[in-house]
Amino acid sequence: MRSHEYCFFLLPKQEVACVTADATLRQTLERMEYHRFTAVPILDKEGRYIGTVTEGDLLWHMKDSEGKITFENASKFMLKDVPLRVKIKPVSIDANMEDLINLAKMQNFVPVVDDMERFIGIVRRSQIIEYCEKFVSKESFNTSS
- The pTM score is 0.85
Give kind and range of the element (H or E) at residue 120.
strand 119-124
Whether the pLDDT of residue 116 is over 70: the answer is: yes
Q: What angle do CA 3, 106, 115 make, to 5 degrees?
A: 30
Which tens digit of pLDDT belongs to each residue from 92-115?
998 888 888 899 999 999 999 999
C-alpha span between 122 and 38 (Å, rounded): 15
Sorting pLDDT into bands at 50, 70 and 90, what band is 27? very high
Q: Which residues contact 98 (CB under 8 A, 6 or more apart)?
A: 1
